[in-house]
Structures are given as C-alpha cells and as structure tokens.
Amino acid sequence: MPMQSASQHLSMPTRLSPLISRHVAVVGAGAGGLVAARELRREGHRVVVFERNDQVGGMWVYTSKVESDPLGLDPNRAVVPSSLYDSLRTNLPRECMGFRDFPFVIRDGKGRDPRRFPSHTEVLMYLQDFATEFGIAELVRFETQVVFVGLEEDGKWNVKSKSRGGVGVDEIYDAVVVCNGHYTEPRLADIPGINIWPGKQMHSHNYRIPDPFKDQVVILIGSAASAVDISRDIAGVAKEVHVAARSVGSYTLGKQPGHDNLWLHSMISCVHKDGRVVFEDGSVVHADFILHCTGYKYHFPFLETNGALVVDDNCVGPLYKHVFPPALAPGLSFVGIPWKVVPFPMFELQSKWIAGALSNRIALPSKEEMMKDVKAFYLSLGACGIPKRYTHRMGASQYEYNDWIAAQCECAAYQEWKKQMHFVTSKRKVERPETYRDKWEDNDLVLQAQEDFKKYMVDGSFAQ
Ligand SMILES: Cc1cc2nc3c(=O)[nH]c(=O)nc-3n(C[C@H](O)[C@H](O)[C@H](O)COP(=O)(O)OP(=O)(O)OC[C@H]3O[C@@H](n4cnc5c(N)ncnc54)[C@H](O)[C@@H]3O)c2cc1C
Ligand SMILES: NC(=O)c1ccc[n+]([C@@H]2O[C@H](COP(=O)([O-])OP(=O)(O)OC[C@H]3O[C@@H](n4cnc5c(N)ncnc54)[C@H](OP(=O)(O)O)[C@@H]3O)[C@@H](O)[C@H]2O)c1
C-alpha cells in the first residue's frame, strides 16, 4: 500500500508559537482514547473522555452478552461494544503490542496471563494498568454516550452527551478527538437466495463460544483473522466447517491440514431453500449455519460534518494521513482508523501528533495542501489497483507511516526489532495458524525487546 505523498513537502515539522492549551473532548476510552487522553494532557490540554461503558478498555472488556439481532442489522438494537470470543488470544506478541514507554510486560498477580500471546483478559488488565499509571480514569465520564458532535459558527465544537440515567449535557469544546473504535458495526456479505435459505445466521461480532455449533454443518464467510480463528474454535465441536473466501491470499483451497472436518472454498455463489450452499467452484454443501466473519463498518452516528467527511465503501474521507479531515483540522481528528497494523503504538504516535497540532507546537499544512495530498494518495491507490475498501489497510506501509508521524512529533522512530518481530509473526501466522502463538523462533528479537524495555524501568521494575 503506498504512503500518502506529502512527506516531500513536510519533511520536518515547523514550530509555531505561542503554545495553546485547549479544551478537548475524546470520544471513547479504549486503547485509542486512553493514549489520546494521556498525550493531550502531557501537552497541556484540558481533557474530558466520554465512555458509554462503565470501565476503560473498549473492545477488550469481554462480555458473554450478545446483541438481540445476531446479524446486527437492527439499527435500534442495544450495541454490545465488544467483539471478543471467550478463547481469544492476541494475534500479536506482547512485546510488539504495547505502548512505547509502557511495555506490555509480564506482571504477577491474580488472573494474569504470562504467555507471549496472552488471552484477552491480560490485554484488558494491561490497559487498566496504563489508565491507573497515568491517572486517566479520573478524566473519564463513564456510562456517558456522545450523541452529537457538530461544528459551531465560531469554529468550536458542540458535544452533546447522555448519561445512563438519560440526563443530557450540551457543551462546547475547542476540539474533538474521535476514538470510538471500528469493530462493532457488522458488515455482511450479499448472498443470492439468502432470504429463502432455512438455516441460522450470525456475525462474528456475536460469536462467543463454540457450543451452539455442536454437530452442525457450519459455513464461515471471510479469510481474515476472525474466520481463521473461529473456524478452528468451532471445528473442535462441529460436524463440518467450511470457510468461504473472497480473497484467498496464500491459503490453499480444499481440506485444511491438521483437521479432518475443515475445508476452505471459494466464495458462495448462491444458497437454496433446501439448505444447499453452492460455492463459486461448483462444490455444494448442505449447511445448518452461516457465520459472517466479514469484518466491520466505520460508523460515526454522532458526527455531523455537513458533508466534510463521509464514509463510503469502508473509506473514511477525506482524511489527511488517516487522522485529520482537511476542512476541519486540527479541531476534529481520528485515532485508530488504519487497519492491518500494530494498533497501540500507532495510536500513541497519532495521539502525539494531534496533541502537538492542537497546541500549535506542530504545524499542519494548509487545508489545500492536505487535500492535495489526500487526492494524490487516492490516485496512487487506484494506480496500484487497490480497491477503495482497502484505503485504510496498511500492512507493510505502516512502518513508513509511523516513522513519518514520529518525525512530525520529533520523537524516536519505530524500533527496528519491533518491525522485524511483526514481520516474522505475520508470516508464521499464515504458515502455521494452529501453532504460531505457542512456538516461535524469534528469541533474538525477544531479547532485543527486553533490552529496549529496560529504558522504561524504574528501580528495576515497571510501573505498577
Ligand atoms: C476480535 C478482535 C481481536 C483483536 N485482536 C487484537 C490483538 O490481538 N492485538 C491488537 O493489538 N489488536 C487487536 N485488535 C484490534 C483492536 O481493535 C485494537 O487493539 C484496539 O483495542 C482498538 O481500540 P480503539 O480504542 O480504537 O477501539 P475500542 O477498543 O473499540 O474502543 C472504543 C471505545 O469507544 C466507546 N464509544 C464508542 N462510541 C461511543 C460514543 N458515542 N460515546 C461514548 N463512547 C463511545 C466504546 O464503548 C469503546 O469503549 C482486535 C480487534 C478485534 C475486533
Ligand atoms: N487476536 C486475534 O486473534 C484476532 C481474532 C479475530 C480478529 N482479530 C482482529 O479483528 C479485526 C477484524 O478482523 P476480521 O477478520 O473480523 O475482519 P477483516 O479483517 O475486516 O476481514 C473480513 C474478511 O471478510 C471478507 N469480506 C468482507 N466483506 C465481504 C463480502 N461482502 N463478501 C465476501 N467476503 C467479504 C474480507 O475479504 P476482502 O479482504 O476481500 O475484503 C476479509 O477476508 C482485525 O484487526 C483482526 O486482526 C484478531
């Protein structure tokens, strides 16, 4: 994926003066909102974080609850803000995952998971530790949902929120940082004949445990992380598991090694009222269940920008470097839009950039220059044949992106060991999806990481 092109115009940030302390609203207290709040406060801004849940951690707060509509189509359903399943372990090693100056190291304590690819509860505890260490929880208004964000005539931002008791609050802020996550609004595949197909359906957002799939013939749609992991989770109890993939990548179609009841197919072409599911390669399966592991939509139901920002085919735009809408920068910004990335360290860099831009320490280009950059980026995607839905998909280009933002913030570039560890893990994940979390060969990189982490230790231990 090409990088956006303004780097040639903006090799180093320009300092502006004087520095300004702003009143900033942050939407969400997940990993993105927590680190945004820390960086904004470090920069001297006054911060209020709005969180609709009753605790920090965002999607890492596991719940066995699922939504009333298993496909997530009902716009009036009560949204469950997590897409975790019970068995979920991280798909990144902990050394890569953590924030730079608060490494995700092994800690003693009840319920802690010392594994290199730990369970979701360990990630939640890590985020809770982060919030405690930097005093973030005191900035958060829990059980308070942002219902409206809109620009005022004087350039300030109107933020309307509602607490659990239904009490509405209407306030004015200098800036809003949107960190509402993008893994709660299901995206579904169109399947010809689905309205007359008699089986059950669900989106992976509502998948928790494999038990309901016992002895069933299950079709999963998708070929990314959810489909790969959940198909294995279900294969332990189901009669047959068939994965239908639109983009197969380097996976091989047919029976999957290590399993006697797991197959990979091309995409579904149609389904019938007698329960048949027909794949594009002509194969046919009588199935009981279709599980859509088809990812999520960006969704900002509270945001009113009068057309300055739109979501179309999974592209949020226009956004300069995936962070600032040119017409509304720096007052409106987004943390966490890119995907196929190592999220937490990227969120940290984006947050530093936003905090510096809001205080006037870091200059942004003019609106016209930002817009020109976005257009050039879109053209470069088109020229490489990259579909619009992949606009925010980064993969290998994330390192250049991170280093570019780090240069804007005048902070250290991304660690080389971290790039290599991520690269090695990504490769092993595809080659050995069953074992990569428990067997690895990059111990040299683990040692380099541990050496690096010593820089952030106080009196021989990390902050508790
Ligand atoms: C199944 C799954 C597994 C993943 N596994 C990994 C992994 O192993 N490693 C990794 O690094 N990343 C993983 N990720 C990526 C993960 O999304 C990021 O790590 C990160 O946690 C996202 O943080 P966020 O703050 O952007 O969003 P979220 O964690 O979703 O937080 C957003 C917060 O905003 C709140 N919110 C939303 N709207 C409003 C509103 N209107 N008002 C008030 N509050 C609101 C929500 O309640 C939520 O708390 C995974 C993602 C998924 C879906
Ligand atoms: N820790 C873990 O182990 C773990 C587990 C699960 C998920 N995750 C994370 O959760 C996030 C979401 O992952 P995800 O797998 O749920 O979503 P995703 O990465 O967005 O992948 C969605 C998959 O569905 C396919 N798809 C989408 N729309 C389709 C359609 N209309 N028809 C057919 N196929 C369609 C996509 O194919 P195309 O590529 O062709 O669009 C892709 O294969 C990622 O960050 C991932 O890393 C982590």
* H or E element at residue 49: strand 46-50
Ligand 1 atom 12: residue of nearest CA = 343
Query: pLDDT tens digit string along 209-227?
Result: 999 999 999 999 999 999 9
Supply the DSSP symbol for 327. Answer: G
- Residue 456: its pLDDT value, please? 87
- Residue-wise pLDDT tens digits, 139-159: 999 999 999 999 999 999 999
Confidence of residue 46 (pLDDT cuts 50, 70, 90): very high
Burial (Cβ within 10 Å: 0-12, 13-18, ≥19) of residue 152: exposed
> What's the confidence (pLDDT) of residue 253?
85
Query: How many Å lie between the centroid of ligand 2 and the Cα of residue 123?
Result: 20
Q: What is the DSSP string of 150-179?
A: EE-TTS-EEEEEEETT--EEEEEESEEEE-
Confidence of residue 12 (pLDDT cuts 50, 70, 90): very low
- Find, among 122, 94, 92, 124, the residue nearest to 341 by Cα: 92
412-419 average pLDDT score? 93
Within 51-154, strands assigned E span 140-141, 144-151
Tell which one of 232, 246, 250 to mutate to probe ligand 2, the residue whose CB is within 8 A of the most ligand atoms: 246
Q: Which protein residue has the closest C-alpha to ligand 2 atom 3?
A: 91
Taking the C-alpha atoms of residue 366 and residue 269, their distance in angstroms, rounded to an integer, is 48
The confidence score (pLDDT) of residue 7 equals: 38
Largest alpha-carbon pair distance within the chain? Answer: 71
**Residue 167: its pLDDT value, please?**
87
Output the pTM of the full model.
Answer: 0.95
How many whole angstroms from 102 Cα to the centroid of ligand 1? 19
User: How far does the centroid of ligand 2 lie from the alpha carbon of residue 395, in Å?
Assistant: 14
**Relative to the CA of 296, which ligand 2 atom is closest?**
20
Contact present, 60 and 127 (Cβ < 8 Å):
yes
Q: Tell me the C-alpha distance between 244 and 249, whole Å.
A: 13
Does the pLDDT of residue 165 top 90, yes or no? no
Question: Is pLDDT of 464 > 50?
Answer: no
- Rounded CA gap, 70 and 204, in Å? 9
CA of 204 to the centre of ligand 2 (A): 10
Return the pLDDT at 6.
Answer: 37
Q: Mean pLDDT over all residues of the chain?
A: 93
Ligand 1 atom nearest to 50, measured from its CA = 43
Contact 56, 140 (CB under 8 A): yes
Domains of the chain: 19-185+296-453 (3.50.50.60), 200-292 (3.50.50.60)
pLDDT tens per residue across span 343-392: 999 999 999 999 999 999 999 999 999 999 999 999 999 999 999 999 99
Parallel, antiparallel or unpaired: strands 23-27 and 217-221: unpaired
Residue range 162-184: mean pLDDT, rounded: 95
pLDDT at 457: 75
